[in-house]
Amino acid sequence: MTGRGERQVIEVIGAPIEVGTSEAGAVMGPASLRTAGLVTTLSDLGWPVVDRGDVAPDAGAPSHGPGAVAAWALALREAVGAALDRSALPLVIGGDHSLSLGTVDAVLRHSMAAGRDLFVLWLDAHADFNTPETSPSGNMHGMPLAALCGEPGFADLFGDEARVALAPGNVHLFGLRSIDAGERALVAARRIDVVDMRTIDEFGVVAPLRRILERVQAAGGVLHVSLDVDFLDPALAPGVGTTVPGGATFREAHLIMEMLHDSGLVAALDVVELNPFLDERGRSARLLVELVASLFGRTIVERAPALPDTGGG
């Protein structure tokens, strides 16, 4: 967990995957984050860090299409599952957002084995809840949540393997500002919690995020955070193939990370969709490293933990 107290080993796992998108360049994301100082930054904060290198599918796996996505998902599920079995905190750096098919699946299986509910905080401009039937582009990086939540249309992806479905009610879309018509209907039908940018404009990030964290804590749950670069305003982080204006500001993003750290609830983290080919001299990579540092406890001054409410007058 990311909060104060005994520190877990952070296992950095690279996922140089771009089979889920039609925009070339995300394959370079893990290398860019390492070059921007990710491992050194976490080590300097006092965290024990092991860089496991980059995951790769088995030799002979398909190079494109659903078969390629499935091969990557399996490889990532095994790598993340092994990290969790070692009681480490997996930090997966990508790579397009289809990688979460493997990472979230691993955390879900691990939390179920421990008798705990998994909650997912999806920091993203998009809902990523399309299916092959609803998707305008057919790109798998716009479908991982639908697949994880058990929507139909993904038989080629999962094959004969027993699917473990993520509860849609435990998914929290945060920062949403672009959604296709078909997935809008699915998100509403499945009653997925949505904190869109209109909500953030009206109430800020603190109140809605606190509500989510309190829900996870009350359930004794496990929290997986998936951070897409396009959650941020493209003026801050241009290195992504799916920019949408009006994203999170610098301080909003850092405040979210600081609150996640203070909660001590984060058990796994994905950082996805960094495309260095579209970046400007590493701006996006450096900002992402700064945000990860905030999630793992970097602050301007040391803040005392909040005192418990004793109920006294």
Q: Which residues are designated catalytic?
A: 97, 124, 126, 128, 141, 228, 230, 273
Amino acid at 102: G
Q: Supply the angle between the helices 206-218 and 250-263 in degrees, to the nearest 10.
A: 20
| Rg value, the chain, Cα | 18
Amino acid at 40: T
Reference 106, options 78, 144, 85; nearest CA is 78
State both tokens at 284: 């996006």
